[in-house]
C-alpha cells in the first residue's frame, strides 16, 4: 500500500460514503499523519483523477463510484458562472440560488434550465439590463409567465426576484442550505414550473451526500416560513439531525407532494 492508498483509507474510515470538504481532509490528515495542506490538496486531485475519489463539486469529494444516473458537474453551470461574473463586475448585490446551485444533485441535467437570481428591491430591472444581452430574463414573474417565457425561449431562462435583504450566500452564490430552501419554496408555491418529484430527489440527495449545516438550513427555512415543512422532509428521509430540527413538524399540501416522492424512494 503506497502513501496515497494509506491516506485514502484514513479518509474512508472517517467519512465512509459521505461527501466531505477538502478543508476537512486537510484537518484530518494533518492530525493523523502530519501532512501539510499542499500535500493533501495534491492527494485529493490525484485520487479524483484516478477515480478513487469522486469530485462532486468545488472542493467537495466522496469515495466510491458515482451512483447510477448522477451527473458529476461543476459548482455552477457555465452560463451562471458567466452571469455571476457580469454582475460582480457591475457591483450589484445579488445571489444565484435554487436549481443553478444544486445541479450536482440532479438525477439528470436538463437540456435547458430556469435559473434563479435574487437581488435587492429596486435592482431587478438593473440586473435584467446587465444580463439581457446574454439571457432571457424575467423580473418578479408569476409561474404562468415563467411557463410561457420558457416555452418561447431558445435557451435557458433567468428569473430575477427582488427582496428587502439577501442572506445565506457568498460572492453572489447561495449556500447549499439556502439553495435547497429556495428551490423548495419556488417549486411548492408554484412560482416556477419545477416538478415536486425532482425537488424531492434533489433534497434527498443533498441531505445524504453533503455535509449540511442544519443550523443554517433551519435559519433559511425559518426566514421563508417553511421550517416545519423541512423538518417533515428530514424526518421522512430518515436523516439524523440535532434535536431542535425534529420538533414542530408541519405537513400541508405544499410539502405533501415532496414527501410522497421521498416515500417512493426516488
98: left (phi over 0), alpha (psi -120 to 50) or beta: left
Of 213, 219, 202, 200, whose CA–CA distance to 241 is shortest? 213
Sign of the alpha-carbon torsion through 130, 153, 82, 181 = positive
pLDDT, averaged across the chain: 86
Least confident of 23-32, 170-179, 237-246: 237-246
CATH code for the domain defined by 3-63: 1.10.10.10
Q: Where are the domains of the chain?
A: 3-63, 78-263
| Cα 16 to Cα 4: distance, rounded to the nearest angstrom | 17
Q: Which of 6-10, 189-193, 201-205 has the highest mean pLDDT?
A: 189-193
pLDDT in tens, 29-85: 999 999 988 899 888 888 887 778 877 655 677 776 544 433 333 468 889 999 999
How much is the pLDDT for 139? 98
Q: DSSP secondary structure string, 188-219?
A: HTTSS---HHHHHHHHHHHHHHS---HHHHHH
H or E element at residue 147: helix 143-152
Instruction: Determine the pLDDT at residue 245.
Output: 65
Of residues 18 and 118, which shows the higher confidence score?
Answer: 118
Amino acid at each position: 500500500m503506497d502513501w496515497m492508498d494509506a491516506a485514502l483509507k484514513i479518509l474512508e474510515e472517517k467519512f465512509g460514503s459521505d461527501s466531505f470538504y477538502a478543508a476537512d481532509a486537510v484537518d484530518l490528515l494533518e492530525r493523523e499523519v502530519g501532512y501539510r495542506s499542499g500535500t493533501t490538496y495534491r492527494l485529493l486531485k490525484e485520487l479524483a483523477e484516478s477515480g478513487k475519489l469522486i469530485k462532486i463539486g468545488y472542493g467537495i469529494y466522496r469515495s466510491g463510484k458515482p451512483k447510477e444516473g448522477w451527473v458529476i458537474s461543476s459548482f455552477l453551470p457555465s452560463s451562471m458562472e458567466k452571469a455571476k461574473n457580469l454582475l460582480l463586475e457591475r457591483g450589484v448585490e445579488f445571489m444565484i440560488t435554487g436549481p443553478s446551485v444544486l445541479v450536482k444533485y440532479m438525477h439528470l441535467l436538463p437540456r435547458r434550465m430556469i435559473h434563479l437570481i435574487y437581488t435587492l428591491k429596486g435592482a431587478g430591472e438593473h440586473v435584467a439590463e446587465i444580463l439581457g444581452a446574454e439571457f432571457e430574463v424575467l423580473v418578479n414573474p408569476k409561474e404562468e409567465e415563467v411557463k410561457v417565457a420558457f416555452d418561447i425561449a431558445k435557451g435557458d431562462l433567468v428569473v430575477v426576484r427582488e427582496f428587502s435583504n439577501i442572506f445565506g450566500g457568498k460572492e453572489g452564490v447561495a449556500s447549499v442550505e439556502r439553495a435547497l430552501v429556495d428551490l423548495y419554496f419556488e417549486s411548492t408555491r408554484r412560482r416556477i414550473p419545477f416538478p415536486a418529484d425532482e425537488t424531492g430527489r434533489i433534497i434527498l440527495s443533498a441531505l445524504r451526500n453533503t455535509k449540511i449545516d442544519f443550523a443554517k438550513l433551519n435559519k433559511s427555512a425559518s426566514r421563508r416560513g417553511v421550517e416545519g415543512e423541512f423538518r417533515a422532509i428530514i424526518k421522512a428521509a430518515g436523516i439524523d439531525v440535532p434535536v431542535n430540527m425534529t420538533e414542530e413538524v408541519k405537513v400541508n399540501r405544499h410539502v405533501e407532494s415532496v414527501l410522497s416522492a421521498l416515500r417512493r424512494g426516488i
